[in-house]
Structure 1
């Protein structure tokens, strides 16, 4: 069986205003030194690293830009000269003027130059057909104005201690040693998507799951009874629907930590709040193991356009199972 090499990257993009006051979409291309080609920033995963982490890290190392991940654009597969299969996952990544000015890039032995080009001119400059096909996916999102996105991450709590004489109250069950390790591992992966707020069920196992993420980001955790399993058991989803509606209306990336039975209803509320089409992808996105999560992407300007894509984790090597339900 051929060796498989996993890598990840981004298509960095920004909006600039020309002399006539017209907004122009630009994308960043990299000119690699040894290969003498033109491509997008990408690189191989470090040991134990996830795809999202690698995409953010490689973009920073190659371009000096600190980015957060937007919508997933898909995967490129190709065979290397040694017969190994290379699998590269890409995301769109918005670059604000402040971040562009903060770039620390200097030409080096790996990257000869960076080039911001008008998006309409970028395709013909790319060296490889696989990159051009990836760029076509990106451009299809720009045409209806959907490329500027935010995400709602539905997270199942990490592995908890079972209910027992030691832990008789379900709400107070703590994370197991495995769960504590999972929570630490989750933090940098979830941070790759740039969450602005963290919401959690009031159960101890949920609060402990997002604690490392909150510490990493320097943010507080917004505890909500409406995300708890006990509240869900009552069958009253009015407060839950109100919360999800506010999240979608606000248009900022968030993480929502809850319980396995609650997740399908949270996903359905996302569908209702965004005018999305329901489908089997919701079942796949919410049938999560402990510490599993799914990232739902929406347009900032047009949240009513529906769910643009879903990434489900964790899978082997941190590679997401990505789906793109049709939007209205």
Structure 2
């Protein structure tokens, strides 16, 4: 079943969407707007793409979409009531939703969703690769690389990351043993009331030692487990993490892989994978260089 919105003023049928609040990221807005319009709390699944169209005043509006899943119990517990924006919610069989939609761009977007459904790829999980936030430079005060703390700007970045990463529903948080990585994910862990698993395989010291076999085994276990996870690591380690994720899922290499690994401090890439068919490859990847 697929959820459609009957909008009040427009008298049309569409998907949940809305406008960004000041300083808000698209993933944050997607979760917030879905909650406001439907009463449903969701975690974002596969990225389905974007739609751009002209508004009456001549400006262009761009909308980014994700798939998201809710349980029947959650659907029944929705707090939705008809209002000035949304007249009604309608759960429609997956094969009937396309013809109910009012606009061609929505139907084209839905075709992407249908492709996933036809190949049994709707049930997904995410692996988020996160580069640590900005750290203090090595100096006489901080001579040991793994003990370097976050700079003041990095502490701000770590706080900014929390609601963006929460939009993808992380269930586990793994971090390099370096202080700057552990400090980057500490606010996220506190917000989610989760424990951070300090993981030597994600550290730069471990990578410098050249034993990539354990990194490969770590990625293999993560893919096999099929749970939403955040991995916080370092710039030199990220390309190998992405390569191992590509190999573990049978994905095709390409420039998108290199882009996903080339992250600035506090930047992250989200890889969406099939929970039922993890060998089907990377279904979508989205990269976020954190804006200040």
TM over 0.5: yes
Deviation at 1:316, TM superposition (A): 6.3
RMSD of aligned alpha carbons: 1.0
- 1:148-176 per-residue CA deviation (whole Å, 9 max, x = no partner) reads 11010000000001011111111000001
1:321 corresponds in structure 2 to none
2:276 corresponds in structure 1 to 301
Structure 1's unaligned 5+ residue stretches are 1-25, 318-328
1:93 corresponds in structure 2 to 68
Q: What does 1:10-89 align with in structure 2 at a 5 Å threshold? A: 26-89=1-64
Residue 275 of structure 1 is aligned with which of 245, 250, 254? 250
- Distance in 1, Cα, partners of 2:291 & 2:175: 26
More strand by share: 1
- Distance in 1, Cα, partners of 2:260 & 2:208: 21
Deviation at 1:195, TM superposition (A): 0.8
- 1:174-197 per-residue CA deviation (whole Å, 9 max, x = no partner) reads 001110000000011011001110
- Distance in 1, Cα, partners of 2:73 & 2:197: 28
Aligned residues: 292
1:325 corresponds in structure 2 to none
1:287 corresponds in structure 2 to 262
Residue 213 of structure 1 is aligned with which of 175, 185, 188? 188
Residue 285 of structure 2 is aligned with which of 310, 314, 318? 310
Residue 90 of structure 2 is aligned with which of 97, 100, 115? 115
- Distance in 2, Cα, partners of 1:167 & 1:88: 45
Runs in 1 of length 4+ with deviation above 6 angstroms?
Answer: none
2:220 corresponds in structure 1 to 245
Deviation at 1:101, TM superposition (A): 2.1
- 1:229-252 per-residue CA deviation (whole Å, 9 max, x = no partner) reads 000001101221111110000011
Deviation at 1:119, TM superposition (A): 1.1
- Distance in 2, Cα, partners of 1:285 & 1:51: 18
2:166 corresponds in structure 1 to 191
Is residue 2:113 matched to residue 1:151? Answer: no
- Distance in 1, Cα, partners of 2:161 & 2:119: 33
- Distance in 1, Cα, partners of 2:206 & 2:82: 56
- Distance in 2, Cα, partners of 1:191 & 1:277: 28
Deviation at 1:314, TM superposition (A): 2.4
1:106 corresponds in structure 2 to 81
- Distance in 2, Cα, partners of 1:147 & 1:242: 26
- Distance in 1, Cα, partners of 2:76 & 2:88: 16
Deviation at 1:315, TM superposition (A): 6.3
> Of the two structures, which has the highest relative contact order with CA contacts closer than 8 Å and spacing of 6 or more?
2
TM-score by length of 2: 0.98
